[in-house]
Structures are given as C-alpha cells and as structure tokens.
Amino acid sequence: MEGGRYHIGGEAAMAVLTKDSSGVPTNPDSAPTYSIYNSAGTPIIANRKMPPVEKLQVTGQFGCGQFLGYEFSEGTYMVLYKWTIGGFNGAEIENIEVLPGDGGGDNIAMAILRKPHATFVLRQLTSGKLAAGRNPSA
C-alpha cells in the first residue's frame, strides 16, 4: 500500500483497519502497533501503539499522527502495522515518502523581546524546542 508524502518537521498520518483472517473489520485483542523502517531496514520507530478512531462508529479503525523530527531524513520509509485477533496475527505494510523540511517542526507560539541593542523573536516549535532569532539592524 502506498502512503503519503510528508515533510520533515510535519506529522505523518498513521492509520490501519484491522481485519480478521476472513478479511472482516474486527477490533483486535489489544491496540495495534506500527513500526517505521528506513531503506536499510533499521527501525526508526518501533512498536508504537495506536488508539481507536471513532470507536463507537467504526469497527477496527485505528490511527494517530507521527511527528517526523530530526531522526528522519529525506527518503522512503516502510511502515509495518501489526495486530492480533484471537490466534490470527494480522499485518499491513505501506510506504511513506519523507521530503526535506525543518525537523523542529512548525511554529506554534511566538513572542517578541525588545532590548535596547536589538529585537529578538522567541518561537516554540511543534517538537517542543525553543528557537530564538534576532532582527537585522537597519
């Protein structure tokens, strides 16, 4: 299955519909997991659990967002979803493409700090990191 294209610093949509051995959507015994592997087969994210999506309305639908931080680089990654229903072990694979971007993420908050010698901008990024910059002088 082909997944999406996402920028470093963005959020990739992880989603799976869990099915039993007959291919019927069924809730698994426990939360399904996903792992993300780089092109060399090295796991970047391993066995992260997924929450249900619209639990009361859709059977077997699970999903969440995965922040693509500094541990990711440009390239194609394989996502492996796994779940268990009774004695049946289900799995699904998709490929996602990661495009260039800033691993710190997007700005979610910003403040201006004025000092006699310069004006500074302090930003909080979606990764939780703080970044500071200085306005150029005139």
Domain ranges for the chain, please list them: 2-99, 106-138
Q: Average pLDDT, stretch 33-50? A: 97
**Residue that is written with structure tokens 């440009």 in the block:** 74
Q: What is the mean pLDDT of residues 119-130?
A: 86
- Is the pLDDT at 33 greater than 50, yes or no? yes
pLDDT band at residue 138 under the 50/70/90 scheme:
very low
For residues 86 and 63, what is the distance between their CA atoms, to the nearest angstrom?
Answer: 21
Residue 61: pLDDT above 50? Answer: yes
What does pTM read for this prediction? 0.81
Provide the mean pLDDT of the chain.
Answer: 91
Give the Cα separation of 28 and 125 in Å (integer): 35
According to the model, what pLDDT value does residue 89 have? Answer: 97
Please provide the CATH number assigned to the domain covering 2-99. Answer: 2.60.40.1220
pLDDT, tens digit, 9 for 90 and up, residues 71-112? 999 999 999 999 999 999 999 999 999 999 887 888 888 888
What average pLDDT does this structure show over 6-27?
Answer: 95
Which residue, 38, 43, 88, 45, is CA-closest to 64? 45
